[in-house]
Chains A and B, each alone.
Chain A
């Protein structure tokens, strides 16, 4: 914006805000775009199409980070809108609470809506969650994962009716605090698909997510089937494929520690 130098302005008008538009022609002049300096970044994204099945490929996309939001999901949506509408991925809440956009970004599992695009000119590689069957592009088959979650019976089970009939089952604050670190799980599958043990035994090992939820119900003071729950998991494959590799804690986008919860289950098995 051309600035008017104060020396040419009359003394009284210094008190008035001067808008330095000298005429309509200049007002219509478009500001030079920041395109003079662009910040291009290359995204290598895993592509596979079931309608035209060839070997999966990593396709390159270049986008300008100055015209894109800060998160990887913003970049994916921009690519889908402007460059390649056939790019397929799951997404919903865009704020890290639904768990739909879980994928592998630069070698680590995470939510695309919570992972910032790395600054710098290095390429960002985006692949789907590891060792899962790919339905299309970045969308994987989560059926096995959900079945394992169902198999641990994630609901309150009681043998006796509640102490005051018709009212809620009371729980002390201390007992409720035991559930912290487990109830926040959004079932995004970042932890389970980061565990090498789960890669090699996906059908028999339950995985960190299901075991975290198993511990959530085992630790719930209102639940009366604790012993049965512990016995159901006390299997060489279901529980003890965990070797505390701890990739799960590293991958969790909500900051939970499934490895610690699995350790808790193992200790309960020891003490009976």
Chain B
């Protein structure tokens, strides 16, 4: 997620106040209650200098925040845009309205397909295996010293010992899937096996 790292660097510089978090409005169908998790994962950071935003848009956005330091961080982007409209309407008629455009829905809307599901399962299994590895390292190497100091910690591990078997079988599943997918990827890349026909 290099873009979010770049954004965090930008935010920490003095262009925008660091507490600024802009929530992008996502389409919400009345019947579904799905919320886009990508914004949460991404960090709800405003993209100040993306090529789709003109410099005047950025400047106006910044100026507005400089003018109004009491603007709360959790303010909805829609209301912010409304404020833009109000200001420009009362001001000069020739001034361009600076509206913040929404991002079209992606994860909540897009239909999952076979290959995309296989790919994301590979990533999830890899992340799961890494976390199991780190946790088991912490557990096995640090348990002794921690347990001697905190007895409730020892009690917790005694009662959750049954989880170890379950975790082991799930991680065996994850490991085998990850390995098969990795071998398939290697074959596709090195042996010119070719990408499978999708349609």
Contacts and interface: CB of A to CB of B under 8 A. Distances in A.
Interface of A: 44, 46, 48, 50-51, 53-58, 104, 106-108, 125, 127-135, 140-141, 143-144, 147, 194, 196, 199-204, 237, 243-247, 249-250, 252, 255, 257, 259-260, 263, 266-267, 270
Contacts of B116: 196, 245-247, 250
B64 to A, nearest CB: 15
B34 interface: no
A135 B115 contact: no
Contacts of B82: 53-54
Given A134-B101, A134-B102, A144-B51, A204 B27 contact: no
Nearest to B115: A246
B113 interface: yes
Contact of B27 (A53, A127, A143, A250): A127
Interface of B: 1-3, 25-30, 38, 42, 50-52, 76, 78, 81-82, 85, 97, 99-107, 109-111, 113, 115-116, 119-120, 123, 185, 188-190, 192, 194-199
B115 A56 contact: no
B115 A133 contact: no
Given A53-B82, A130-B109, A246-B116, A46 B104 contact: yes
A259 B195 contact: yes
Given A244-B188, A247-B115, A257-B195, A127 B105 contact: yes
A107 B99 CA distance: 27
Contacts of A199: 38, 106-107
Contact of A263 (B97, B100, B194, B198): B194
A250 B118 CA distance: 14
A245 B52 CA distance: 26
B69 to A, nearest CB: 23
Nearest to A130: B106
Ranked nearest first, the 6 interchain pairs of A and B with the lowest CB-CB distance are A107-B111, A130-B106, A246-B115, A249-B198, A53-B81, A131-B106
Contacts of B101: 50, 133-135, 141
Given A130-B105, A203-B51, A249-B199, 9 more contacts: A53-B100, A55-B27, A56-B102, A130-B110, A134-B101, A199-B106, A201-B1, A245-B120, A257-B198
A46 B99 contact: no
B111 A108 contact: yes
13 contacts: A50-B97, A53-B82, A54-B78, A58-B29, A104-B104, A106-B111, A130-B104, A199-B107, A201-B3, A243-B123, A244-B195, A245-B115, A259-B198
